[in-house]
Chain A
Amino acid sequence: MPQFKGSETVTASRQVVWDFITDPQKVGGCIPDLKSMHVIDTDHFDAEVKVGMGILRGTMKVKYEVTSKDPPSKITMKMDGSGLGSKALINAAVELKEVPQGTQLDWVADVTVSGTLAGLGARYLNDVAFKTVSDLFSCVKEKLAGGK
Protein backbone atom coordinates (compact mmCIF):
# COMPACT_ATOMS: atom_id res chain seq x y z
CA MET A 1 0.00 0.00 0.00
CA PRO A 2 1.20 3.49 -0.69
CA GLN A 3 2.16 6.20 1.72
CA PHE A 4 -0.13 9.19 2.08
CA LYS A 5 0.96 12.68 3.02
CA GLY A 6 -0.75 15.91 3.82
CA SER A 7 -0.31 19.23 5.46
CA GLU A 8 -2.69 21.53 7.30
CA THR A 9 -2.11 25.00 8.64
CA VAL A 10 -3.94 25.42 11.93
CA THR A 11 -4.60 28.90 13.26
CA ALA A 12 -3.64 27.99 16.80
CA SER A 13 -0.45 27.81 18.79
CA ARG A 14 1.67 24.70 18.67
CA GLN A 15 0.96 23.91 22.34
CA VAL A 16 -2.79 24.05 21.71
CA VAL A 17 -2.46 21.73 18.75
CA TRP A 18 -0.21 19.42 20.73
CA ASP A 19 -2.65 19.26 23.62
CA PHE A 20 -5.44 18.48 21.21
CA ILE A 21 -3.75 15.68 19.33
CA THR A 22 -2.49 14.01 22.47
CA ASP A 23 -5.92 13.95 24.10
CA PRO A 24 -7.65 10.70 23.18
CA GLN A 25 -11.15 12.16 23.61
CA LYS A 26 -10.36 14.98 21.22
CA VAL A 27 -8.55 12.91 18.62
CA GLY A 28 -11.32 10.33 18.83
CA GLY A 29 -13.86 13.01 18.09
CA CYS A 30 -12.08 13.65 14.82
CA ILE A 31 -12.14 10.03 13.61
CA PRO A 32 -14.58 9.93 10.70
CA ASP A 33 -17.74 7.84 11.27
CA LEU A 34 -16.89 7.08 14.89
CA LYS A 35 -19.59 4.96 16.56
CA SER A 36 -18.13 4.63 20.03
CA MET A 37 -14.86 4.85 21.88
CA HIS A 38 -13.37 3.63 25.12
CA VAL A 39 -10.30 5.41 26.50
CA ILE A 40 -7.77 3.19 28.25
CA ASP A 41 -5.11 5.81 29.02
CA THR A 42 -3.65 8.89 27.38
CA ASP A 43 -1.85 6.77 24.83
CA HIS A 44 -4.45 4.10 24.15
CA PHE A 45 -8.08 3.90 23.20
CA ASP A 46 -10.42 1.48 21.46
CA ALA A 47 -12.96 2.71 18.97
CA GLU A 48 -15.67 1.38 16.72
CA VAL A 49 -16.04 3.02 13.34
CA LYS A 50 -18.49 2.64 10.53
CA VAL A 51 -16.93 1.52 7.25
CA GLY A 52 -18.62 1.53 3.90
CA MET A 53 -16.97 0.65 0.66
CA GLY A 54 -19.06 -0.47 -2.26
CA ILE A 55 -21.32 -3.29 -1.17
CA LEU A 56 -19.29 -3.93 1.97
CA ARG A 57 -20.67 -2.03 4.93
CA GLY A 58 -20.24 -2.58 8.64
CA THR A 59 -18.18 -1.83 11.68
CA MET A 60 -14.47 -2.09 12.30
CA LYS A 61 -12.88 -2.21 15.73
CA VAL A 62 -9.88 0.09 15.94
CA LYS A 63 -7.12 -0.04 18.52
CA TYR A 64 -5.36 3.32 18.76
CA GLU A 65 -1.93 3.51 20.24
CA VAL A 66 0.58 6.35 20.55
CA THR A 67 3.90 4.77 19.67
CA SER A 68 6.23 7.73 20.35
CA LYS A 69 6.03 11.30 21.58
CA ASP A 70 8.45 14.18 21.31
CA PRO A 71 6.55 17.16 22.83
CA PRO A 72 5.53 19.48 21.45
CA SER A 73 6.58 18.75 17.90
CA LYS A 74 6.40 15.04 17.00
CA ILE A 75 4.09 12.16 17.61
CA THR A 76 3.65 8.78 15.96
CA MET A 77 0.64 6.57 16.31
CA LYS A 78 -0.73 3.24 15.18
CA MET A 79 -4.35 2.48 14.38
CA ASP A 80 -5.08 -1.22 14.07
CA GLY A 81 -8.52 -1.91 12.65
CA SER A 82 -10.23 -5.24 12.22
CA GLY A 83 -13.66 -6.31 11.04
CA LEU A 84 -15.55 -7.15 7.85
CA GLY A 85 -13.16 -10.02 7.30
CA SER A 86 -10.41 -7.46 6.90
CA LYS A 87 -7.53 -5.76 8.63
CA ALA A 88 -6.54 -2.11 8.25
CA LEU A 89 -3.29 -0.97 9.76
CA ILE A 90 -2.39 2.74 9.76
CA ASN A 91 0.99 3.94 10.99
CA ALA A 92 1.01 7.71 11.08
CA ALA A 93 3.54 10.37 12.04
CA VAL A 94 2.65 14.00 12.76
CA GLU A 95 5.03 16.89 12.92
CA LEU A 96 4.10 20.32 14.26
CA LYS A 97 5.99 23.45 13.18
CA GLU A 98 5.46 27.00 14.30
CA VAL A 99 4.56 29.27 11.38
CA PRO A 100 3.36 32.90 11.25
CA GLN A 101 -0.31 31.83 10.86
CA GLY A 102 -0.07 29.44 13.82
CA THR A 103 1.00 25.82 13.43
CA GLN A 104 1.79 23.75 10.43
CA LEU A 105 0.69 20.12 10.84
CA ASP A 106 2.50 17.76 8.47
CA TRP A 107 1.29 14.21 8.48
CA VAL A 108 2.39 11.04 6.77
CA ALA A 109 0.57 7.73 6.95
CA ASP A 110 1.30 4.18 5.80
CA VAL A 111 -1.89 2.26 5.24
CA THR A 112 -2.04 -1.51 4.84
CA VAL A 113 -5.37 -3.13 4.14
CA SER A 114 -5.77 -6.90 3.97
CA GLY A 115 -8.73 -9.18 3.43
CA THR A 116 -12.07 -8.67 1.79
CA LEU A 117 -11.84 -4.87 1.89
CA ALA A 118 -8.57 -5.00 -0.03
CA GLY A 119 -10.12 -7.18 -2.69
CA LEU A 120 -13.48 -5.49 -2.93
CA GLY A 121 -12.19 -2.00 -2.96
CA ALA A 122 -9.14 -2.69 -5.07
CA ARG A 123 -9.85 0.19 -7.41
CA TYR A 124 -10.84 2.90 -4.98
CA LEU A 125 -9.20 1.79 -1.78
CA ASN A 126 -6.42 4.36 -2.09
CA ASP A 127 -8.90 7.19 -2.44
CA VAL A 128 -10.93 6.01 0.52
CA ALA A 129 -7.85 5.53 2.70
CA PHE A 130 -6.49 8.95 1.81
CA LYS A 131 -9.84 10.59 2.45
CA THR A 132 -10.21 8.89 5.83
CA VAL A 133 -6.81 10.03 7.07
CA SER A 134 -6.98 13.52 5.64
CA ASP A 135 -10.49 14.03 7.04
CA LEU A 136 -9.09 13.28 10.46
CA PHE A 137 -6.47 16.02 10.22
CA SER A 138 -8.68 18.60 8.55
CA CYS A 139 -11.06 18.04 11.47
CA VAL A 140 -8.20 19.00 13.82
CA LYS A 141 -7.73 22.17 11.82
CA GLU A 142 -11.42 23.08 11.93
CA LYS A 143 -11.84 22.44 15.64
CA LEU A 144 -8.83 24.56 16.53
CA ALA A 145 -9.40 27.40 14.09
CA GLY A 146 -8.77 30.69 15.90
CA GLY A 147 -7.38 29.06 19.07
CA LYS A 148 -4.27 30.49 20.64
Chain B
Amino acid sequence: MTGAQILFLVCAGLILGSAVMVVTARNLMHAAFWLIAALFGVAVVYAILQAGFMAMIQVVIYIGAIAIMFIFADMLTRRDVRESRAQIGRNWPVAVLLGLLILAGLTALILAQPGVGRVAPALPSGLDPVAALGKALVSPDAYVLPFEVASVLLLSALVGAVYLAFLKKQ
Protein backbone atom coordinates (compact mmCIF):
# COMPACT_ATOMS: atom_id res chain seq x y z
CA MET B 1 0.00 0.00 0.00
CA THR B 2 1.49 3.34 -1.03
CA GLY B 3 1.35 6.56 0.93
CA ALA B 4 -1.17 8.04 -1.49
CA GLN B 5 -3.49 5.10 -0.92
CA ILE B 6 -3.30 5.44 2.86
CA LEU B 7 -4.03 9.15 2.52
CA PHE B 8 -6.93 8.40 0.20
CA LEU B 9 -8.44 5.89 2.63
CA VAL B 10 -8.16 8.36 5.51
CA CYS B 11 -9.79 11.08 3.39
CA ALA B 12 -12.53 8.78 2.14
CA GLY B 13 -13.30 7.82 5.73
CA LEU B 14 -13.40 11.49 6.72
CA ILE B 15 -15.70 12.38 3.80
CA LEU B 16 -18.10 9.49 4.39
CA GLY B 17 -18.17 9.97 8.16
CA SER B 18 -18.83 13.71 7.79
CA ALA B 19 -21.48 13.06 5.15
CA VAL B 20 -23.30 10.70 7.52
CA MET B 21 -23.04 13.31 10.26
CA VAL B 22 -24.51 15.97 7.93
CA VAL B 23 -27.77 14.05 7.65
CA THR B 24 -27.90 12.73 11.21
CA ALA B 25 -26.83 15.81 13.19
CA ARG B 26 -29.74 17.20 15.18
CA ASN B 27 -28.37 20.73 15.19
CA LEU B 28 -28.64 22.39 11.78
CA MET B 29 -25.49 24.44 12.37
CA HIS B 30 -23.54 21.30 13.21
CA ALA B 31 -24.79 19.75 9.98
CA ALA B 32 -23.45 22.78 8.09
CA PHE B 33 -20.03 22.46 9.73
CA TRP B 34 -19.94 18.70 9.02
CA LEU B 35 -20.72 19.53 5.40
CA ILE B 36 -17.67 21.80 5.38
CA ALA B 37 -15.55 18.92 6.71
CA ALA B 38 -16.84 16.68 3.89
CA LEU B 39 -16.13 19.36 1.26
CA PHE B 40 -12.63 19.84 2.67
CA GLY B 41 -12.04 16.09 2.38
CA VAL B 42 -12.99 16.27 -1.30
CA ALA B 43 -10.46 19.10 -1.75
CA VAL B 44 -7.78 16.86 -0.22
CA VAL B 45 -8.71 14.07 -2.64
CA TYR B 46 -8.22 16.50 -5.54
CA ALA B 47 -4.83 17.41 -4.10
CA ILE B 48 -3.87 13.70 -3.91
CA LEU B 49 -4.83 13.40 -7.59
CA GLN B 50 -2.35 16.25 -8.34
CA ALA B 51 -5.22 18.54 -9.35
CA GLY B 52 -4.07 21.51 -7.28
CA PHE B 53 -6.26 23.96 -9.17
CA MET B 54 -9.41 21.94 -8.50
CA ALA B 55 -8.47 21.57 -4.82
CA MET B 56 -8.06 25.33 -4.37
CA ILE B 57 -11.25 26.12 -6.29
CA GLN B 58 -13.11 23.56 -4.17
CA VAL B 59 -12.01 25.36 -1.00
CA VAL B 60 -12.62 28.88 -2.35
CA ILE B 61 -16.05 28.22 -3.89
CA TYR B 62 -17.55 25.52 -1.70
CA ILE B 63 -16.13 26.41 1.71
CA GLY B 64 -15.49 30.12 1.19
CA ALA B 65 -18.76 30.96 -0.52
CA ILE B 66 -21.41 28.24 -0.53
CA ALA B 67 -20.91 26.84 2.97
CA ILE B 68 -20.75 30.35 4.45
CA MET B 69 -24.04 31.11 2.69
CA PHE B 70 -25.56 27.93 4.15
CA ILE B 71 -24.52 29.08 7.61
CA PHE B 72 -26.01 32.52 7.05
CA ALA B 73 -29.25 31.00 5.75
CA ASP B 74 -29.37 28.68 8.78
CA MET B 75 -29.05 31.63 11.11
CA LEU B 76 -31.68 33.70 9.30
CA THR B 77 -34.37 31.08 8.79
CA ARG B 78 -35.33 30.17 12.32
CA ARG B 79 -34.60 30.99 15.89
CA ASP B 80 -33.94 27.46 17.14
CA VAL B 81 -31.62 25.52 14.87
CA ARG B 82 -32.28 22.16 16.59
CA GLU B 83 -34.50 19.60 14.93
CA SER B 84 -36.79 17.80 17.37
CA ARG B 85 -38.90 15.54 15.17
CA ALA B 86 -38.07 11.93 14.27
CA GLN B 87 -35.23 11.75 11.79
CA ILE B 88 -36.24 8.56 10.00
CA GLY B 89 -39.40 8.52 7.91
CA ARG B 90 -41.70 5.57 7.20
CA ASN B 91 -40.23 4.91 3.77
CA TRP B 92 -36.75 4.08 4.97
CA PRO B 93 -36.61 0.50 3.54
CA VAL B 94 -37.31 1.85 0.03
CA ALA B 95 -34.66 4.53 0.49
CA VAL B 96 -32.09 1.96 1.64
CA LEU B 97 -32.94 -0.29 -1.31
CA LEU B 98 -32.63 2.61 -3.79
CA GLY B 99 -29.35 3.70 -2.25
CA LEU B 100 -27.89 0.20 -2.46
CA LEU B 101 -29.06 -0.13 -6.08
CA ILE B 102 -27.40 3.15 -7.05
CA LEU B 103 -24.21 2.10 -5.26
CA ALA B 104 -24.17 -1.24 -7.06
CA GLY B 105 -24.84 0.42 -10.41
CA LEU B 106 -22.09 3.01 -9.95
CA THR B 107 -19.61 0.37 -8.79
CA ALA B 108 -20.38 -1.80 -11.82
CA LEU B 109 -19.98 1.21 -14.15
CA ILE B 110 -16.64 2.22 -12.61
CA LEU B 111 -15.28 -1.34 -12.67
CA ALA B 112 -16.21 -1.61 -16.36
CA GLN B 113 -13.92 1.34 -17.19
CA PRO B 114 -10.52 0.45 -18.61
CA GLY B 115 -7.58 1.17 -16.37
CA VAL B 116 -9.26 0.60 -13.01
CA GLY B 117 -6.76 -0.46 -10.38
CA ARG B 118 -3.72 0.80 -12.25
CA VAL B 119 -1.44 3.37 -10.65
CA ALA B 120 -1.79 6.80 -12.28
CA PRO B 121 1.29 7.75 -14.31
CA ALA B 122 3.29 10.71 -13.01
CA LEU B 123 2.78 14.04 -14.77
CA PRO B 124 5.42 14.92 -17.38
CA SER B 125 8.02 17.17 -15.74
CA GLY B 126 7.69 20.16 -18.11
CA LEU B 127 3.89 20.34 -17.95
CA ASP B 128 2.14 23.13 -16.07
CA PRO B 129 -1.41 21.80 -15.56
CA VAL B 130 -2.83 25.23 -14.72
CA ALA B 131 -1.43 26.80 -17.90
CA ALA B 132 -2.73 23.86 -19.95
CA LEU B 133 -6.17 24.22 -18.35
CA GLY B 134 -6.21 27.97 -18.98
CA LYS B 135 -5.30 27.48 -22.65
CA ALA B 136 -7.94 24.75 -23.04
CA LEU B 137 -10.65 26.99 -21.59
CA VAL B 138 -10.14 29.71 -24.22
CA SER B 139 -9.03 27.73 -27.26
CA PRO B 140 -11.72 27.36 -29.98
CA ASP B 141 -11.08 23.66 -30.53
CA ALA B 142 -11.43 22.84 -26.83
CA TYR B 143 -13.82 24.30 -24.27
CA VAL B 144 -14.36 27.92 -25.26
CA LEU B 145 -18.07 27.45 -26.03
CA PRO B 146 -19.11 25.81 -22.72
CA PHE B 147 -16.88 28.29 -20.87
CA GLU B 148 -18.56 31.28 -22.50
CA VAL B 149 -22.04 29.80 -22.03
CA ALA B 150 -21.31 29.38 -18.31
CA SER B 151 -20.03 32.98 -18.15
CA VAL B 152 -23.19 34.31 -19.79
CA LEU B 153 -25.33 32.24 -17.42
CA LEU B 154 -23.50 33.67 -14.39
CA LEU B 155 -23.72 37.20 -15.78
CA SER B 156 -27.47 36.89 -16.30
CA ALA B 157 -27.84 35.57 -12.74
CA LEU B 158 -25.86 38.59 -11.51
CA VAL B 159 -27.99 41.05 -13.49
CA GLY B 160 -31.16 39.30 -12.29
CA ALA B 161 -30.05 39.53 -8.66
CA VAL B 162 -29.35 43.26 -9.01
CA TYR B 163 -32.74 43.77 -10.69
CA LEU B 164 -34.58 41.91 -7.92
CA ALA B 165 -32.75 43.91 -5.25
CA PHE B 166 -33.85 47.16 -6.94
CA LEU B 167 -37.47 45.94 -7.25
CA LYS B 168 -37.73 45.48 -3.50
CA LYS B 169 -36.43 48.96 -2.78
CA GLN B 170 -39.20 50.75 -4.69
Q: Do A and B bind each other?
A: no
